[in-house]
Chain A
Amino acid sequence: MSATRLDVRAYACPMTYVRTRIALERLRVGEALEVWLAAGEPLESVPRNAVEEGHRVLSCEPLPAEGAGSWRVVIEKGNPPPEPL
């Protein structure tokens, strides 16, 4: 199954996660999103935010062919956790 790909390396936080979130919103539960992001703050925050919002991080690995500091994170869309009332 080919995952939808999203390249957010050109953006600064919080835009990196905003775009990831929108892309995930457009998928169905169980579908995968492949995000290309930069090391540093994006790499720290995007996978963590995704997990907090009920998704699964399937893999997280460097992309040497794309130059130093590029990473690929694959996220599977999950169900949002029940929100505290």
Chain B
Amino acid sequence: MALSESQIGRYARQLLLPGLGEAGQERLGAARVRVVGAGPLAGPALLYLAQAGMGRLWVDDAAMVSPEDLSAWLYGPGDVGRPRSAAAAEALRTANGLVEAEPFRAGNLPTAVLVASGAQSTDRVAAEEARLLGLPHVVAEADGEGGAVTVIPAGSPCYKCAFRTGHGAIPTPAATAAVGALAALELVLLVADVSQEPRGRRIDLVRGQPMARPTVRLPGCTCGAGANEGIP
């Protein structure tokens, strides 16, 4: 299905990117992405996914907008006290009327997942759910002056294999935004199929410098169960 006039006008600047073009843009438009989180970390990620043209965004977050969430890029002072998922969905539809955005509901079937809850335990559960459904997913964590983004194409080493203990320091606003944007960037490259790197990768952000390396499956991890069958 060809891009419409308004889609061409809206996405003109990214349609010029090598490897992206109409085909890549259509892949983005066909995507249904569940985003876990709607706070200052997920905010920039949600916005960039919407601006890039991810066709459908489902915001999975049960909290209310707090005054601290004004740094999430999505909310205004009038949103404080509203459910984050609803307020975020509304902001995203306003940012790009060509995409659909709603709170996530049980029964929704995503084609990709972006995990950015800001809480380790929630991240682990959400990443494992995505893995079990065979979905490509990206996990974002901000920590002190940096953080990490783990990119997990379907079938690659899982989030637990790549996980490193962070400092647990309160993330700075700049680091939070950088990690959120990087997570969106990686998911766009994955869904549009332009990443040039089929393997999973983990990108650590250390004092302003991104450092990427491929993920490696930890021996005995259940994510490799099929491949390791019969090997003790």
Contacts and interface: CB of A to CB of B under 8 A. Distances in A.
Contact, chains A and B (beta carbon distance below 8 A): yes
Chain A interface category by residue count = 10 to 19
Interface of A: 14-15, 17-19, 21-22, 25-26, 53, 80, 83, 85
Contacts of A22: 3, 8, 15, 21-22
A15 B19 contact: no
B9 interface: yes
B8 A18 contact: yes
A82 to B, nearest CB: 11
Contact of A14 (B13, B23, B196): B13
Given A22-B3, A25-B21, A85 B12 contact: no
23 contacts: A14-B12, A14-B13, A14-B16, A15-B8, A15-B9, A15-B12, A17-B16, A18-B8, A18-B15, A18-B16, A19-B8, A21-B15, A21-B16, A21-B21, A22-B3, A22-B8, A22-B15, A22-B22, A25-B23, A26-B2, A26-B22, A53-B18, A85-B196
Nearest to B197: A85
Given A15-B12, A19-B8, A85-B196, A25 B22 contact: yes
Q: What 5 A-B pairs come out closest when comparing CB atoms?
A: A18-B12, A25-B21, A22-B22, A18-B15, A25-B22
B212 to A, nearest CB: 14
B4 to A, nearest CB: 12
Interface of B: 2-3, 8-9, 12-13, 15-16, 18-19, 21-23, 196
Q: Is the interface of B mostly helix, strand, loop or mixed?
A: helix
A45 B8 CA distance: 19
B74 to A, nearest CB: 28
Given A22-B22, A25-B23, 6 more contacts: A14-B12, A21-B15, A21-B21, A22-B15, A83-B18, A83-B19
Contacts of A17: 16
Contacts of B3: 22
A83 B2 CA distance: 26
B20 to A, nearest CB: 10
Contacts of A19: 8
A44 to B, nearest CB: 16
A25 B20 CA distance: 11
Q: Which interface residue of B2, B9, B12, B23 has the most chain A CB atoms within 10 A?
A: B12
B1 to A, nearest CB: 12
A80 B18 CA distance: 9
Contacts of B18: 53, 80, 83
A16 to B, nearest CB: 10
A80 B3 CA distance: 21
Contacts of A53: 18
B72 to A, nearest CB: 31
A26 B2 CA distance: 10
Nearest to B18: A83
A21 B18 CA distance: 10
